[in-house]
Amino acid sequence: SQQGEEDPQALSIQEGENATMNCSYKTSINNLQWYRQNSGRGLVHLILIRSNEREKHSGRLRVTLDTSKKSSSLLITASRAADTASYFCATDAGSGGGADGLTFGKGTHLIIQP
Amino acid sequence: NAGVTQTPKFQVLKTGQSMTLQCAQDMNHNSMYWYRQDPGMGLRLIYYSASEGTTDKGEVPNGYNVSRLNKREFSLRLESAAPSQTSVYFCASSEANPSRGGGYEQYFGPGTRLTVT
């Protein structure tokens, strides 16, 4: 079953605006990761936040994690046309140090209008 | 470095046919994974291999078998393909190791688009 659920399912904004997408999950986790998938391609890792962290930044990306609400958000600032893609959250909730795989949500499809 | 490579890129099978999807990584990673992605869905784990010589079932293993041939290669076999196995298949690898703490990203191949008619 899907562990994470992204919200919204689709998001369309103007270039230069900020994009925020949310992820909720069901069980306790070790870490939560965000991935990007361009159309027809494999997934690319964006950022990882551990369960004892509340916020993390990487370039134009900001991720927050609220373990009490079992939710995370991904903020992309100053969006660009090249940010058009699907974004997935994935949780590591196993006991295998991540070797036993991740559980992915259904994704948010982000469209940046030029 | 090529990263994670998958062959073939596309495949069409008839119901009942068999095939093997190949995956290789050149990053010396311990762990490898097979996922499937259906339209409008996230990825679902089929099988994983936490180390050379070990394999374990994921969320949706029925109808599939895997082989961790060596540290580099992890293959996925469909013995008798069914239309429900029409999907895009992704292989991934990671430094993750059961004897260490977590916190490792996964690296994905470009995918194999499989259609079963």
Count the Cβ atoms, other than its own, within 10 Å of residue B45.
21
Alpha carbon of residue B18 to chain centroid? 16
Angle at CA B52, nearest 5°, toward B64 and B32? 55
Give the β-pairing of A71-76 and A61-66. Answer: antiparallel
A37/chain B closest Cα distance in angstroms: 10
Chain B residue with the nearest C-alpha to that of A9 = B40
Determine if the peptide bond prior to A8 is cis (ω within 30°).
yes
- Contacts B51 to A, Cβ<8 Å: 99
Average pLDDT, chain B: 94
Query: Residue A90: its pLDDT value, please?
Result: 95
In sequence order, which residues have a C-beta less than 8 Å from that of residue B68 and are 6 or more positions away? B32, B49, B52, B53, B54, B55, B74
Contact A100 B40 (CB under 8 A): no
Chain A residues bordering chain B (beta-carbon distance below 8 Å):
1-2, 4, 30-31, 33, 40-45, 48, 50, 88, 90, 92, 96-107
Q: Are B87 and B41 in contact (CB under 8 A)?
A: no
Full pLDDT tens readout for chain A, 114 residues = 556 788 899 999 999 999 999 999 999 999 999 999 999 899 999 999 999 999 999 999 999 999 999 999 999 999 999 999 999 999 998 877 777 899 999 999 999 999
DSSP 8-state class, residue B102:
-
The whole-number pLDDT of residue A2 equals 53
Enumerate the residues of chain A whose CB falls inside 8 A of the CB of residue B30: 99
- Chain A: residue whose CA lies nearest to B110: A42
> Which of B7, B27, B43, B112 is the mutation pick for testing A, counting most A CBs within 10 A?
B43
Taking only the tens place, the pLDDT of each residue in B35-47 is 999 987 789 999 9
pLDDT at A106: 92
Q: Decide if A97 and B45 are in contact by the 8 Å CB cutoff.
A: no
Residue scoring higher pLDDT (B57 or B98): B57
Q: Do B50 and A96 touch (CB under 8 A)?
A: yes
* pLDDT given for residue B55 in this prediction: 96
- Whether B96 sits inside 8 A of A98 (CB atoms) is yes
